[in-house]
Amino acid sequence: MAELFNALTVHKARAALALHLPPAKPGVKLALLESLDRRLAQEVRASEDVPGFDRSTVDGYAVRARDTYGATEGMPSYVDIAGEVTMGREPKGGVRTGQAWRIATGGMLPAGADAVVMVEYTEELDARTIGVTRPVAPGENVVRRGEDIGAGEIALPAGHRIRPQDLGMLAAVGITQVEVVPPLKVGIISTGDELVGPADTPGPGQVRDINSYALYGAVHNCGGEPRLYGMVRDIYEELKITLEQALQENDLVLLSGGSSVGARDVAARVIDAMGEPGVLFHGISVKPGKPTVGAVVNGKPVFGLPGHPASAMVIFELMVAPLLRTGGYHFDGEDHPLDFPLRAVITRNLHSAAGREDYIRVKLSSRDGQFYADPILGKSGLIGTMVKADGLARIPFGKEGVEAGELVEVKLF
């Protein structure tokens, strides 16, 4: 069992877990609309060009661009109307020198045409002739065949989480089914003799269970399938029975509470007794959330999260969310650029102890094109500090604080 509070950095804690994570689960095929928010198990390649033909992006006239060179309002270039493109059909014939075809947005360019003049820049001379009052260049107002994506190109890479626009891309290349990574099933256990349910009235010394519900929402938002296992007292055998069931029925288990120092701390001992390799660390050099347990039991990650709600949610974002969203951690020496995508000006001085990372709940505002981060001060046992915050500002490891006016990195909730 890991030495109590031999705290690791976030990077080292992730690395310790990564050595024992199981291989990715086999993919499952889903219908296109059912795949939204799922991660692709395999890359998807386009089997054809999109679009499959040169098409107009405006209402106007398909022309040979060189026939419009030098055109002005005072001296238009005159071309003969030789045809009209019917939507959804291939034009029969082509555009010759000095000719134009009427075309609507999305229409297929006739052979010989290489540009489209917007109708606003034309004037009708008679029923068969128009004057072009503004020149166009080859390719202007045209989407070329394969310009969106070419046959054989990767439409979406493996591991990509499917968004609404991705559904559109898949539909465009004729994909009706995709192979996705099944969502991880996550068991959630709250521990503590002081806990009662949300519908109960707390007695002296009791509090309602917050973490089960906050973590349920967090797992759901990350694409996992959360399952609640209720509240368990700080009794070894009771927790052991519940944890055994959760491990049998899930891919990952979260326990909140029972991870701090104390005579009744049993969570770490129960986790370590469940299987190999057991507890890998007990303590991360962060605030809030230092008393965190990280373990792998027979290929299944288990986290003992702090009982304080804000601490539990911060550690979830750092340690659990990446596993649910991407299936693993990034190890290129730096955080993924989208982990903390925002830069904001901190509005007050904040102290940080050397040798740890601090994550400050902040409320964001914008003035004169600059984001500002106002710290939401309060103890980690207060869920209201998370409710009021828009994200977490990071004070990096090795830095002893930030001064008002300094730029900080922010992770958005």
For the segment 375-401, the average pLDDT, to the nearest whole number, is 91
CB distance 101 to 62 below 8 Å: yes
User: 137 lies in a domain?
Assistant: yes
Q: What is the DSSP string of 9-78?
A: PHHHHHHHHHTTPPPPPPPEEEEGGGGTTPEESS-EE-SS-BSSS-EESSSEEEE-GGGGTT--SSSPEE
For the segment 385-399, the average pLDDT, to the nearest whole number, is 92
CB distance 81 to 101 below 8 Å: yes
Query: Poorest-confidence range of 148-162, 295-309, 325-339?
Result: 325-339
For the segment 223-243, the average pLDDT, to the nearest whole number, is 95
Distances (CA, A) of 189 to 10, 21, 192, 207: 23, 21, 10, 16
User: 196 lies in a domain?
Assistant: yes
Claim to verify: residue 165 and residue 187 sit in the same structural domain:
no
**Residue 259 pLDDT exceeds 70:** no
The tokens describing 69, both together, are 């060179």
For the segment 182-209, the average pLDDT, to the nearest whole number, is 94
Gap between the Cα atoms of 359 and 110, Å rounded: 60
User: 335 lies in a domain?
Assistant: no
For the segment 198-222, the average pLDDT, to the nearest whole number, is 95
Burial class (CB in 10 A: 0-12, 13-18, 19+), 89: exposed
CB distance 220 to 183 below 8 Å: no
The tokens describing 162, both together, are 């499917």
For the segment 10-39, the average pLDDT, to the nearest whole number, is 94
pLDDT band of residue 263 (cuts 50, 70, 90) is very low
CATH of the domain at 166: 3.90.105.10
**Residue 68 pLDDT exceeds 80:** yes
Residue ranges of alpha helices (H) inside 153-227 are: 164-172, 211-221
Q: Which of 213, 215, 207, 187 is nearest to 314 (CA)?
A: 215
Q: What percent of the chain has a predicted confidence (pLDDT) above 90? A: 85
Write the single-letter amino acid at 108: M
Claim to verify: residue 173 and residue 203 sit in the same structural domain:
no
The tokens describing 145, both together, are 């065949």
Claim to verify: residue 310 and residue 200 sit in the same structural domain:
yes
Claim to verify: residue 406 and residue 316 sit in the same structural domain:
no
| The pLDDT value given to residue 150 | 97
User: 163 lies in a domain?
Assistant: yes
User: 81 lies in a domain?
Assistant: yes
**Residue 37 pLDDT exceeds 90:** yes
For the segment 362-375, the average pLDDT, to the nearest whole number, is 96
Claim to verify: residue 173 and residue 38 sit in the same structural domain:
yes
Write the single-letter amino acid at 121: Y
Three-state secondary structure call for residue 322? helix
Q: Work out the number of other CB atoms within 10 angstroms of the CB of residue 135.
A: 19
CATH of the domain at 253: 3.40.980.10
Three-state secondary structure call for residue 272? helix
* CB proximity list for 249: less than 8 A, separation 6 or greater: 185, 187, 227
Q: Which of 39, 297, 320, 60 is nearest to 183 (CA)?
A: 39
Q: Work out the number of other CB atoms within 10 angstroms of the CB of residue 262.
A: 10
The tokens describing 198, both together, are 């949300």
Gap between the Cα atoms of 383 and 310, Å rounded: 6
Mean pLDDT of the chain: 93
**Residue 334 pLDDT exceeds 60:** no
The more confident residue out of 295 and 355 is 295
For CA atoms 47, 51, 53, 54, the dihedral sign is negative
Claim to verify: residue 201 and residue 243 sit in the same structural domain:
yes
Claim to verify: residue 40 and residue 99 sit in the same structural domain:
no
The more confident residue out of 347 and 380 is 347
| The pLDDT value given to residue 355 | 84
Give the up-direction half-sphere exposure of residue 277: CA atoms within 13 A in the CB hemisphere: 14
Claim to verify: residue 36 and residue 172 sit in the same structural domain:
yes
CATH of the domain at 353: 2.40.340.10
| The pLDDT value given to residue 353 | 86
For the segment 157-171, the average pLDDT, to the nearest whole number, is 96
Q: pLDDT digit string (tens) for 293-320? A: 999 999 999 999 999 999 999 999 999 9
Q: pLDDT digit string (tens) for 92-149? A: 999 999 999 999 999 999 999 999 999 999 999 998 999 999 999 999 999 999 999 9
**How many folded domains does the chain comprise?**
4
User: 331 lies in a domain?
Assistant: no
Q: Which of 382, 376, 368, 372 is nearest to 404 (CA)?
A: 372
| The pLDDT value given to residue 332 | 57
Query: Poorest-confidence range of 2-16, 58-72, 88-102, 324-338?
Result: 324-338
| The pLDDT value given to residue 398 | 83
| The pLDDT value given to residue 258 | 58
Domain extent for 194: 4-25+182-326
Distances (CA, A) of 320 to 222, 242, 316, 395: 9, 20, 5, 20
User: 159 lies in a domain?
Assistant: yes
Claim to verify: residue 63 and residue 77 sit in the same structural domain:
yes
Claim to verify: residue 236 and residue 353 sit in the same structural domain:
no
User: 337 lies in a domain?
Assistant: no
CATH of the domain at 137: 2.170.190.11
Whole-prediction pTM value? 0.86
